[in-house]
Amino acid sequence: MNAPATTPGISRHPALDGLTASLRELLGPRCSTSDSEREHHGHGESYHPTKAPDVVCYPLTTEEVSSIVKLCHQAKVPVIPFGAGTSLEGHVVALHGGVCIDLSRMNAITAVNAEDLDCTVEAGVTRKQLNEHLRDTGLFFSVDPGADATLGGMAATRASGTNAVRYGTMKDNVLALTVVLADGTILKTGGRARKSSAGYDLTRLFVGSEGTLGVITEITLRLYGIPEASSVAVCSFPDIASAVNCAIETIQCGIQVARVELLDETCMRAINRHNNLSYPETVALFLEFHGTEAAVVSQAEMVQMIAEGHGGEGWRFATSAEERNKLWQARHNMHYALLALRPGASSWGTDTCVPISQLAACITEIKEHAKDAPFPVTALGHVGDGNFHMGFLIRMDSPEEIREAERLNGLLVNRAIELGGTCTGEHGVGYGKAKFLRKEHGDAAVEVMRTLKASLDPDNIMNPGKVLPA
Amino acid sequence: MNAPATTPGISRHPALDGLTASLRELLGPRCSTSDSEREHHGHGESYHPTKAPDVVCYPLTTEEVSSIVKLCHQAKVPVIPFGAGTSLEGHVVALHGGVCIDLSRMNAITAVNAEDLDCTVEAGVTRKQLNEHLRDTGLFFSVDPGADATLGGMAATRASGTNAVRYGTMKDNVLALTVVLADGTILKTGGRARKSSAGYDLTRLFVGSEGTLGVITEITLRLYGIPEASSVAVCSFPDIASAVNCAIETIQCGIQVARVELLDETCMRAINRHNNLSYPETVALFLEFHGTEAAVVSQAEMVQMIAEGHGGEGWRFATSAEERNKLWQARHNMHYALLALRPGASSWGTDTCVPISQLAACITEIKEHAKDAPFPVTALGHVGDGNFHMGFLIRMDSPEEIREAERLNGLLVNRAIELGGTCTGEHGVGYGKAKFLRKEHGDAAVEVMRTLKASLDPDNIMNPGKVLPA
């Protein structure tokens, strides 16, 4: 769904020729200015138009990243980090041209400390690669945004996913970082201690900074022991409010679900069709429980009782690994299942998060606004966190549909903020959400963010135009 | 154990008289320069010598704090926030004189949102006050550093405690803050959404900043549902390594203990004497399990099996609320139990945290260094996190004992850092640990911290001399 690349070279910086020569000298064939590589690096997976960088570099070490950034710093040319290109808010679009640093070749798993439940990886390692590597250790890495993103990209956008309700987001699971600053300085933040009160939390400052304060090159992550037992249950509800209230009561009772996902009737229809399944086509919760065998059974029993009190019915279990995987595979393939509902359409995914008590009302209200929309509107959510994605199945060749999707997205984001929520639960700001930052955080907070940015990147070369509003 | 106050007025700032008059005009009798109030506000609960502030203010609102800071900003006079005075690293000592802002009268619980499992409190609310207030809601606030600290102070020092292994530290449990910046600007950070990727994580920047970047006046906190069932078990081990290995294996198996505390033989002797109990006087683990009735039983059974594999014996349960409270009361009163072992002595508490695989070796090594110490040396730890406190029961009137405690503390901190750990797991830097920051984080990180401090507090009036090394 990407618009065509802009004319090559349109944003050329005066110092670019000299810089490109220096980068070639440094990296040899790992520095490219080919149209196809530039175009590939000028977009993520969202509807934001492509804008290609002038040069693409493929460093192999933190020291090489530092050398690249030093050259860009001298030339005052923008630096845009790039991982797997799965961004959904235009993070990697080279708005002002410049040098794309593609970290995908820095994909070594540097250390796994099984006793300490941590590991250190280079920024280009993907989450699936890491979990594959961990397979025989009895441990796993928990953050799962669906896409097989790089861990550097996931740290940079403060990513999360379906099991954040139990295991937290990247904010909670990054212990330490190596970051290359705007002047090429190599910074180490945090450490391997599980907790620390030793000074300002630089790790959390860089997690979610989307390449605007520095380039993340290495990450130390928390790991978890694979629980003795897991089970997944699906339960149908008469409407969104009943399902959300079941989730609220579950969490209030201190029952720690590993995942609790809400899917509306359109999602369930898409899942049935795409995966040849036969769930009731009404609002559903997908729940996962982790723990000892007995704990999993007793948690599920308690939630089943709570669900019945909220009109839940048709409780179905999947306990074998195969059944569980099939079910979550269906959930993770939702994007494609939805696309199949309207052949030729693209899915415009939203990403708001509200206090859980406001979740049902917020979804219902936006669905009401969307009832005359010329395209299907879906809703699914990580109910335990109040984070939900409404999806608009639009034709990107229809300006009218794009306008309507923009209108609904604006309504949704503004409403979420008014309800005490956020414009982005897990996708990040990029440049798509920058315009909402002031409404969400207020002028003072945006000014503090600007002050921090200016203090660490006075020439504004680090991913310019992202995060902070113009 | 506080040294006498320094001579009143020794550090008077030129603009102090005018400033004091303005503060009196603003606050009336809630602005004091009495010797006793100044002395009381010049120290925490540690061995660091007292240094009294010049003026003590008792604001009632964020706006009053803002007015106070604006006046101090104009006069370029230091501002030192003060909560319950339970600091252990000299955070509240007025090293350069100035104005102490005592937040204890800002003690309103502004909102409890039971459905959303969050609440908002003024900075002077203490954790016990909050949990008392929550008593009938079925919810609780989890962070428990032992002392009845204010929540503002706990956020400012990134405090934690015994159940951080399951529920996290203040870093994990603060959702939003109101902060008064160095120029008096009122900043709101974060929000009530459970997760957000919307811009730089200002909340985490201020959590742990110890008053050096701003004064925290209001905090939004996560709450948890009280679990259906809890049980506490005590188990004896032949030595520290066996106990630590039992904890490591438990966590690796994905069993989520709510607390797991290590106590050495001296601690167990102190507990027995002080509480009239009869535990075996050897290394012990205190474990707590939370969950459904069945989950608690099955978790405990699995841990008991793991413990037996590591030489654990004498497994004893406490399941009634009364027994559990008695046991944790004994743990929390450890400070006094230890003092009773050597009448007239004070306890110098250390606070390091290492990767859990290094925990046993680190404690054993320092105990070896301390075997000829002229005072008892104890060790207790939050084993799930690798955070532990060695205690030195010294006489503060003995320069020789103070020197030896300083030597051992230095050895311990340096060793912890070499092992990948931190100089402070939960007490904070204050000025007692500032000298270790460069070794722990490196020059680049300390310079970034200085850059951030200078950008937000260019006149260095916010709690000067704390956190950053001279």
Question: In the numeric block, which tokens belong to residue A44?
Answer: 């993520």
Rounded-to-integer distance, Cα A131 and Cα A156, Å:
20
Q: Which of A225, A244, A273 is the last residue of a domain?
A: A225
Residue A396 near chain B (CB below 8 Å): no
Asked whether residue B329 falls in the same domain as residue B285, the answer is yes
- The per-residue DSSP string of B14-78 comes to TTHHHHHHHHHHHHGGGEE--HHHHHHTT--SSSSPP---SEEE--SSHHHHHHHHHHHHHHT--
| Structural domain boundaries, residue B407 | 342-426
> With contact defined as beta carbons under 8 Å apart, do A90 and A431 qualify?
yes
**What's chain A's average pLDDT?**
94
Q: Kindly state whether residue A259 falls inside one of the protein's structural domains.
A: yes
**What's chain B's average pLDDT?**
94
What is the predicted pLDDT for the residue at B318? 84
| Segment A293-311 mean pLDDT | 94
Tell me which residues of chain B, numbers 183 to 242, contact chain A at a CB-CB cutoff of 8 Å.
185-189, 191-202, 204-205, 207-209, 213, 224-228
The shares of helix, strand and coil residues in chain A, as percent rounded to the nearest 5, are 40, 20, 40
Pick B323 or A167 by higher pLDDT.
Answer: A167
Question: In the numeric block, which tokens belong to residue B183?
Answer: 């120029």
Q: Kindly state whether residue A242 falls inside one of the protein's structural domains.
A: yes
What is the predicted pLDDT for the residue at B252? 85
Tell me, what amino acid is at B254?
Answer: G
**Position B1 pLDDT exceeds 80:** no
Q: Kindly state whether residue B447 falls inside one of the protein's structural domains.
A: no
Rg (CA), chain A: 22
Q: For residue B427, what is the nearest residue in chain A, using CA coordinates?
A: A197
Asked whether residue B192 falls in the same domain as residue B251, the answer is no
Q: Which of A426, A447, A465 is the last residue of a domain?
A: A426
Partner residue facing A208 (CB), from B157, B186, B197: B197
**Position A256 pLDDT exceeds 90:** no
Rounded-to-integer distance, Cα A393 and Cα A265, Å:
15
Strand pairing report for A174-180 and A139-140: unpaired
What is the predicted pLDDT for the residue at A11? 54
Neighbouring residues of B8: CB distance < 8 A, sequence distance ≥ 6: B35, B38, B52
Residue B158 near chain A (CB below 8 Å): yes
- A134: Cα within 13 Å, side-chain hemisphere: 28
Alpha helices in A101-207 (DSSP H): 127-133, 151-156, 164-167, 170-173, 202-206
**Position B114 pLDDT exceeds 70:** yes
> With contact defined as beta carbons under 8 Å apart, do B324 and B318 qualify?
yes
CA of B392 to nearest chain A CA: how many angstroms apart? 21
Q: Do A225 and B113 touch (CB under 8 A)?
A: no
CA of A255 to nearest chain B CA: how many angstroms apart? 7
Q: Which of B333, B366, B392 is the last residue of a domain?
A: B333
Q: Which domain CATH number covers B162? A: 3.30.465.10
Partner residue facing B445 (CB), from A187, A224, A225: A187
Asked whether residue B87 falls in the same domain as residue B149, the answer is no
Q: Kindly state whether residue A371 falls inside one of the protein's structural domains.
A: yes
**Position B80 pLDDT exceeds 50:** yes
- In chain A, the number of structural domains is 4
**Position B2 pLDDT exceeds 70:** no
Tell me which residues of chain B, numbers 345 to 374, contact chain A at a CB-CB cutoff of 8 Å.
353-357
Identify the CA nearest to A222 among candidates A195, A259, A202. Answer: A195
Pick A146 or A243 by higher pLDDT.
Answer: A243
Q: Report the SS3 class of residue A128.
A: helix
Residue B326: band (very low, low, confident or very high) from pLDDT cuts 50, 70, 90 = confident
Partner residue facing A202 (CB), from B169, B445, B455: B445
> With contact defined as beta carbons under 8 Å apart, do A387 and A379 qualify?
no
What residues in A contact B172, CB-CB < 8 Å? 168, 172
Pick A27 or A292 by higher pLDDT.
Answer: A27
Interface test with B, best of A171, A197, A218, A436 (most B CBs within 10 A): A197
Identify the CA nearest to B16 among candidates B93, B70, B71. Answer: B71
Asked whether residue B315 falls in the same domain as residue B268, the answer is yes
Residue A83: band (very low, low, confident or very high) from pLDDT cuts 50, 70, 90 = very high
Q: Which domain CATH number covers B286? A: 3.30.70.2190
Q: Per residue in A180-226, pLDDT tens? A: 999 999 999 999 999 999 999 999 999 999 999 999 999 999 999 99
| Segment B397-419 mean pLDDT | 96
Q: Do B357 and A113 touch (CB under 8 A)?
A: yes
Q: For residue B157, what is the nearest residue in chain A, using CA coordinates?
A: A197
What is the predicted pLDDT for the residue at B46? 87
**Position A253 pLDDT exceeds 80:** yes
What is the predicted pLDDT for the residue at B4? 40
Q: Per residue in B433-463, pLDDT tens? A: 999 999 999 999 999 999 999 999 999 999 9
What is the predicted pLDDT for the residue at A321? 84
Q: How large a percentage of chain A has pLDDT more than 90?
A: 86
Identify the CA nearest to B61 among candidates B110, B17, B96. Answer: B110
Q: Do B294 and A298 touch (CB under 8 A)?
A: yes
**b (16+ CB within 10 A) / e for B344-356:** ebbbbbbbbbbbb
Question: In the numeric block, which tokens belong to residue B13?
Answer: 């700032």
Question: In the numeric block, which tokens belong to residue A440?
Answer: 């969400």
What is the predicted pLDDT for the residue at B325? 86
Asked whether residue B143 falls in the same domain as residue B218, the answer is yes
Residue A160 near chain B (CB below 8 Å): yes
Partner residue facing B298 (CB), from A116, A292, A357: A292
Q: Do A189 and B118 touch (CB under 8 A)?
A: no
CA distances from B45 to B90, B94, B127, B271 (A): 8, 14, 18, 22
Rounded-to-integer distance, Cα A104 and Cα A56, Å:
12
The values of phi and psi at residue B167, to 5°, are -105, -5
Q: Report the SS3 class of residue A84.
A: coil
Rounded-to-integer distance, Cα A284 and Cα B143, Å:
35
Q: Kindly state whether residue A43 falls inside one of the protein's structural domains.
A: yes
Tell me which residues of chain B, numbers 259 to 298, contact chain A at a CB-CB cutoff of 8 Å.
290-295, 297-298
Q: Do A192 and B444 touch (CB under 8 A)?
A: no
Q: Which of A423-437, B327-341, B372-386 is predicted least confidently?
A: B327-341
Asked whether residue B65 falls in the same domain as residue B51, the answer is yes
CA of A333 to nearest chain B CA: how many angstroms apart? 23
A28: how many CB neighbours lie within 10 A of its CB?
8
| Segment A146-174 mean pLDDT | 96
CA distances from B156 to B86, B383, B442 (A): 12, 24, 23
What is the predicted pLDDT for the residue at A6? 42
Question: In the numeric block, which tokens belong to residue A33?
Answer: 């200015």
> With contact defined as beta carbons under 8 Å apart, do A52 and A5 qualify?
yes
Q: Do B114 and A252 touch (CB under 8 A)?
A: yes
Asked whether residue B372 falls in the same domain as residue B350, the answer is yes
**Position A359 pLDDT exceeds 90:** yes
Asked whether residue B136 falls in the same domain as residue B202, the answer is yes
| Segment B118-122 mean pLDDT | 98
Asked whether residue A179 falls in the same domain as residue A193, the answer is yes
Partner residue facing B199 (CB), from A197, A248, A429: A429
**Position A2 pLDDT exceeds 60:** no
Q: Kindly state whether residue A68 falls inside one of the protein's structural domains.
A: yes
Q: Do B198 and A118 touch (CB under 8 A)?
A: no
Q: Which domain CATH number covers A87? A: 3.30.43.10
Residue B11: band (very low, low, confident or very high) from pLDDT cuts 50, 70, 90 = low
What is the predicted pLDDT for the residue at B301? 94
CA of B310 to nearest chain A CA: how many angstroms apart? 15
Angle between helices A334-341 and A321-332 (to 10 degrees): 50
Q: Do B195 and A426 touch (CB under 8 A)?
A: yes
What is the predicted pLDDT for the residue at B441? 98
Asked whether residue B154 falls in the same domain as residue B66, the answer is no
What residues in B contact A196, CB-CB < 8 Å? 158, 353, 422, 424-425
> With contact defined as beta carbons under 8 Å apart, do A54 and A20 qualify?
yes
Asked whether residue B204 falls in the same domain as residue B307, the answer is no
Q: Which domain CATH number covers A367? A: 3.30.70.2740
Q: ipTM, 2 decimals?
A: 0.96
Cα three-residue angle B141-B145-B147, rounded to 5 degrees: 105
**Position A94 pLDDT exceeds 60:** yes
Tell me, what amino acid is at B191?
Answer: G
What is the predicted pLDDT for the residue at B328? 87
Q: Kindly state whether residue A466 falls inside one of the protein's structural domains.
A: no
Question: In the numeric block, which tokens belong to residue A147?
Answer: 């896409």
**Position B393 pLDDT exceeds 50:** yes
Asked whether residue A115 falls in the same domain as residue A214, the answer is yes
Identify the CA nearest to A27 among candidates A138, A101, A132, A108. Answer: A101
What is the predicted pLDDT for the residue at A217? 98
Q: Kindly state whether residue B450 falls inside one of the protein's structural domains.
A: no
| Segment B21-43 mean pLDDT | 97
CA of A378 to nearest chain B CA: how many angstroms apart? 21
